[in-house]
């Protein structure tokens, strides 16, 4: 068994696509119109056949309380592995990305938490050493 698709709920699919591809560096995999929404996924360019991230509209009634609760408590909606958290932090901050947590060592990993412009916190993480 392996992860095929996981979702992050977004308030604007186009804004999310622009951020996740143009800023974070993911690659668009699927973009299928579905009425007012799209089946819109991105993948890592390092693993184009790997797990997909669905940029899912946050219009379902249970999503807003869920997103608001995670945001209020500082809980990331997703976590992405990078090679070097400090380098990625510096790159993204230079692009204007807002961070809620600067890089910090946490046992066997270093993490930082950023805002994705679509109502979510995203953690970046790298193993130490």
Per domain, the residue ranges of the chain are 5-127
* Mean pLDDT over the full length of the chain: 97
CATH 3.10.180.10 describes domain 5-127: yes
Closest alpha carbon to 20 in 97, 104, 127: 97
Structure tokens at 23: 């800023």
Quick: pLDDT tens for 13-49: 999 999 999 999 999 999 999 999 999 999 999 999 9
State both tokens at 94: 């230079």
pLDDT at 129 over 90: no
Q: How far apart are CA 30 and CA 126, in angstroms?
A: 27
Q: Is the pLDDT of residue 60 over 80?
A: yes
């Amino acid at each position: 068994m392996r992860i095929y698709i996981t979702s992050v709920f977004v308030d604007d699919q186009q804004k999310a696509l622009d951020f996740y591809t143009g800023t974070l560096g993911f690659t668009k995999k699927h973009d299928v119109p579905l009425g007012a929404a799209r089946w819109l996924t991105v993948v890592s360019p390092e693993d184009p056949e790997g797990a997909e991230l669905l940029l899912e509209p946050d219009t379902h009634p249970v999503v807003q309380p869920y997103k608001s609760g995670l945001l209020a408590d500082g809980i990331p909606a997703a976590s992405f592995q990078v090679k070097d958290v400090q380098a990625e932090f510096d790159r993204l901050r230079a692009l204007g990305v807002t961070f809620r947590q600067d890089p910090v060592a946490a046992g066997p990993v270093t993490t930082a938490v950023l805002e994705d412009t679509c109502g979510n916190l995203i953690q970046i993480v790298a193993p130490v050493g």
